[in-house]
Amino acid sequence: MTASMNRRVFLSATGGAALVLAVVPEAAADARTGTAAPGASGTGGEFAPNAFVRVERDGRVEVTVPRTDIGQGVRTSLAMLVAEELAVPFAAVRVRTAEADPRYGGQMTAGSTSVRFLFTPLRRAGATGRVLLVRAAALRWGVPDAECRAVDGRVVHPRSGMLPYGRLLADAAALDPATVPVTLVPRDEWKIIGRRRRRVDNADVVTGRARYGMDVARPDGLVAVVARPPLIGASAEQVDAAAALAVPDVVAVERLPSGVAVLARHTAAALRGRERLAVTWAGGDPTASSADWLDELAEAVPAAPEAPPGTPFSASFRMPMLAHACMEPINATAHVTDDAVHVWVPTQFPEGVQQQAAELTGIDVSRVRVEIPLGGGGFGRRSETDVTEEAIRLSALARRPVKVMWSRDDDTRHGSMRPASAHTLHAVLDERGMPVWRHHAFATWPLTVAPFFGRPELIVQNGDRFRYAVPGTVTARVLPAPLRTGFWRSVYAGQVVVAEEMFLTALAVRGGLDQVALRRDLLAGEPRLLACLEAAASAFGWGATLPAGHGAGVACLDDYGSAVAVVAEVDCSGERPRAVRVVVAVDVGVVVNPSGLEAQVQGGVADAVSTVLGAQITVRQGAVVQSSFRDYAWLRIDRAPRVEVVLVPSSAEPGGAGELSYPPSAAALAGAVHAATGRLPAGLPVVGEIG
C-alpha cells in the first residue's frame, strides 16, 4: 500500500482510461463540521473506501454502492447523489453493488441508514471528481478554477470553450487532491437530488433481465433444499435416504445442523427428493402453542409503579409473531474450492457472510468473494446468515457450487419471527380526560439472531419513541424466546410504538376527545411531529363526517432522524374491516428521491394493512400453522387502500425512510377500527384471535 493510498480521497488513472475516486468514512464526519479538506493526508487508518466513483473515457460513470438493494431503491438514490455532485447526466451513471470487502467499512443494510450514512460521503466522492476535473481543465486553459463550470459531464469556460470529462481523466488523476478544495453543490442549485427519479433497475425488471439470488446458476452447480424439523426445536435422528437418492438427478443427501439436505442437478429433483426422504425427528414440544406463549407474556408484564392521584385508565394489547415472507424466498449459492470461497447471496450483511465463510472453511477472508445480486425483499430477514451457512457447508461437502433454496413453506415456518409481545399501559387522567402520567409495561422475547438484543433497556431504547408531553416510564421484561426471532421492519417499534399510539387513541375514544387535538396538545414541544400531524390531518380532511360504519385513526412517530404522522380510514360496515384511505405526512429531512420515498411509505402502509387486518404467525401443536401466502394473509390489490403521501418541507439532514411508516400506519389503522366500532382492539391483528 503506497503513501498516496492513505489519503482520504484516493484516485488513480487506470492506464489513463478512467478516473477512480474513493472516499473513506472519515470524510463524512469532516463534512458535518464543514471543515473538510478532502485531500489532507490521512493521519491514520488504512485505505478504507466506502464508495467508488469511476469516470470512463467515454464519459460514463460507474458508482459502486456498498449497500444491498432489497427493494428500497438505494442503487438509485445513492447514484443520484454522485451524479449531482459530479455534474453528469443521470443517464450516464451505471450502478454496481459492491462485493463484500473490509475496505468499504460497514456494508450492513439496516436500520434505515443507507442514505443517512452515505449522503455526505457519496456527494463528496462526486464533488471531488468534479473539482479535480475542473482544475485539470483550468490548468490546460490557463484560467482560474473559479471561471470554469462543470455541467453535464463537461467543463466549460466562457472564452476557452468546453472539454468533456473523458479528455481530462489523466490530468485530473495526476493532481494532488490535497491541493484542490472540495465544495458541495449548494442545495438551491441541486438538479438531481430532490427530483423524482425512476429506479435504475426498472428496464431490467420489466424485461425479466434483472437477476436475483434465486437466478444464480453456476456451471456444474447443484440445487439443494433442506428437510427441516416438523416440530420447532426438533432435530434429525435417523435418515433413510434411499428413496430420495432414487429420484433421477438427485446427487446426494447430507445432514446439516438445520436439517437434512437433498442435492440435485435441478430444483424439481431436489424438491421431489425431499418429499421422499424418510427422517426420524427427535425433540420439540408437540403441545407448544402461540396462544399459550402470549398468555405467558401477558402474565409476565411487569407491574406499574404507584400512580399519582387522578383518574386511572389502562389498556392491554397483544402483538403476534410475524414472518418476513420476502417475495423471493431465502437462498444462497456458494462455491468452496481448496483455497477460495465464492458466495452469491442477496444479503443485508455482506461482511458477516465473508467472515462466516472464512470461519466455516478455514480459508482466509481475503480469499472469500461475496457477490450481491438483487434481493426480492429483505425486511430484516436478509441480515441473517443461516442460509449462507447451509450453502457453504454443502458446497464444501459436494466440492461443487451449491444453491440452497428455501421453499415457501420453509420460509414461512422456519425463518426468524418478529417476537410476540404483551403490553399493559396505564395513564392518569386530568378532569378533561387528558393524560398527565403514563406507564408502559411489556413483555417480549429477545432477538435470538442478535444476542445483544436481549437486554430490556436496549429493547426499550429501540422500541419506545414516545415524544408526547406526558411524564412516565417504560418497563420491559424479556422472556426466553421459544423459537428463532429476528429483525423485522421497524424492529421493536413495530410493537411498542403501536401499543403506545393505540393507547392514546383509546384515551381519546374513552373521553370523547378528538384524536388529533389530543396529540396536538401533547406535541407542543415537538415542531417536526406537530407539522406532520397538521399536514396529515389537513390532507385527510380531518373533522369531516365519515360515511356510516367508517372510522378514522391517527398516529405519529419520530425515529430514524425522521418524523411522520398518519391518518387512516377504515370501513367497518361489512363483514371484515376494509382499509379505505391512508394519508401519510413525512418529514425525512432532505429527500433524495421523492418517488423512492413514496414507494417506501406505500410499502410500510401495506405491511400495516396486512398485519392489522389479518396476517399473523401462529403455532399449534409445536409447529407454525401458516405455510404460504394462502394462509399468511398478506394484502392483495383488491383490499389495498388509497395511499396519499404528503412531503413536509424540511431542511433537516436526511432521515431514514424504510421503516418509518409501518408503526404509525398500523396504529392509525387499528385506531380507526376502534373509532368505528367503539370496541378497544385486544391487539393486532384486530380481527380473529391473536396468537
**Binding partner at 162 among other proteins, ligand FES, none, C-beta below 5 to 8 Å by kind:** none
For residue 417, what is the DSSP state?
Answer: E
Min dist. Cβ of residue 199 to other proteins (A): 6
The stretch among 115-123, 387-395, 419-427, 624-632 that binds other proteins (CB under 8 A) is 624-632
Q: Please identify which residue in 39, 49, 66, 71 interacts with other proteins, judged by CB under 8 A.
A: 71
Q: How many residues does the chain have?
A: 691
Q: Could you tell me the smallest distance in angstroms from the CB atom of residue 327 to ligand FES?
A: 4
327 interacts with ligand FES by CB under 6 A: yes
- Among 34, 43, 638, 678, indicate the residue that binds other proteins (CB under 8 A): 638
Query: Which of ligand FES, other proteins, none has residue 482 at its interface (CB below 5 to 8 Å by kind)?
Result: none
Task: Give the nearest distance from C-beta 412 to ligand FES in angstroms.
Answer: 12
Number of residues that bind ligand FES (CB under 6 A): 3
The contact pattern for other proteins, residues 642-661, with x = CB under 8 A and - = no contact, is xx------------------
- Minimum distance from CB of 115 to ligand FES (Å)? 19
**Identity of the residue, 446 or 486, whose beta carbon is nearer to other proteins in the bound complex:** 486
| Shortest Å, Cβ 666 to other proteins | 13
Find the binding residues for other proteins in span 31-70 (CB under 8 A): 69-70
Q: What is the DSSP letter of 71?
A: S
- Picked from other proteins, ligand FES, none, the partner binding residue 497 (CB below 5 to 8 A depending on kind) is none
State the nearest-atom distance from the C-beta of 57 to other proteins, in Å.
Answer: 27
- Residue 276's nearest CA partner among 247, 297, 299, 300 is 247
Cβ neighbours around 535 below 10 Å, total: 21
Kindly tell me the burial class for residue 91, based on how many C-beta atoms sit within 10 Å of its own C-beta (0-12, 13-18, 19 or more): exposed
| Rama region for 555: left / alpha / beta (φ>0; ψ in -120 to 50; rest) | beta
Contact string (CB under 6 A) for ligand FES, positions 26-65, x = contact: ----------------------------------------
**Packing angle between helix 594-612 and helix 662-677, nearest 10 degrees?**
50
Sole binder of other proteins in the list 215, 285, 295, 653 (CB under 8 A): 215
**Binding test (CB under 8 A) with other proteins, winner from 155, 214, 304, 417:** 214
636 binds, among other proteins, ligand FES, none (CB under 5 to 8 A by kind): other proteins
**Shortest CB 204 distance to other proteins, Å:** 8
Residue nearer to other proteins on the CB measure, 97 or 128: 97
Grid coordinates belonging to 531? 407539522
Q: Residue type for 380, please?
A: G
> Taking a C-beta distance cutoff of 8 angstroms, is the pair 428, 311 a contact?
yes
Is the preceding peptide bond at 685 cis, omega within 30 degrees of 0?
yes
Q: Taking CB under 6 A as the criterion, which residues in 346-405 touch ligand FES?
A: 377
Q: What's phi and psi for 540, nearest 5 deg?
A: -75, -30
- Comparing CA positions, the residue from 376, 287, 368, 289 lying closest to residue 328 is 376
By C-beta, is 138 or 323 nearer to ligand FES? 323
Q: How far apart are CA 153 and CA 89, in angstroms?
A: 7
Chain mean position to CA 8:
29
Q: Which residue is nearest to ligand FES (CB)?
A: 327
Within 10 angstroms of residue 43's Cβ, the number of other Cβ atoms is: 8
Please return the burial class of 525, using the count of CB atoms within 10 Å of its CB with bins 0-12, 13-18 and 19+.
exposed
Residue 268 interacts with other proteins (CB under 8 A): yes or no: yes
Our CB check for other proteins shows the closer of 129 and 658 to be 658
- Cβ proximity to ligand FES: between 69 and 389 the closer is 69
d(CA 564, CA 668): 12
Cell of 235: 432435530
The answer to whether residue 206 forms part of the interface with other proteins (CB under 8 A) is: yes
Under the binding rule (CB under 6 A), the answer on residue 71 touching ligand FES is yes
Asked if 630 interacts with other proteins (CB under 8 A), we say yes
Among 15, 158, 208, 547, binds other proteins (CB under 8 A): 208
Cβ atoms of residues 416 and 448 within 8 Å? yes
- Residues 6, 82: Cα–Cα separation, whole Å: 22
Backbone CA torsion sign across 355, 361, 362, 366: negative
End-to-end, the C-alpha distance of the chain in Å comes to 57
How far apart CA 620 and CA 289 sit, in angstroms, is 5
Please state the closest distance from residue 582 (CB atom) to other proteins, in A. Answer: 10
634 binds other proteins (CB under 8 A): yes
Q: Give the SS3 label for residue 580.
A: strand
CA distances 599 to 116, 199, 525, 581, 660, Å, are: 17, 11, 30, 16, 12
What is the smallest separation between the CB atom of 377 and ligand FES, expressed in angstroms?
A: 5
What is the rounded (10 degree) CA torsion for 391, 397, 402, 408? -50
Binding mask 83-122 for other proteins (x = CB under 8 A): ----------------------------------------
Choose the contact partner of 248 out of ligand FES, other proteins, none; CB within 5 to 8 A by kind. Answer: other proteins
Nearest to 540 by CA among 648, 613, 646, 649: 646
- The distance of closest approach from Cβ of residue 571 to other proteins in the complex, given in angstroms and rounded to an integer, is 15
Q: Is 114 helix (H, G, I), strand (E, B) or coil?
A: helix
Residues found near ligand FES in the complex (CB under 6 A)? 71, 327, 377
Residues found near other proteins in the complex (CB under 8 A)? 69-73, 196, 198-199, 201-203, 205-212, 214-215, 217, 223, 248, 266-268, 271, 325-329, 374-378, 405, 407-408, 595, 599, 602-607, 628-630, 634-638, 640, 642-643
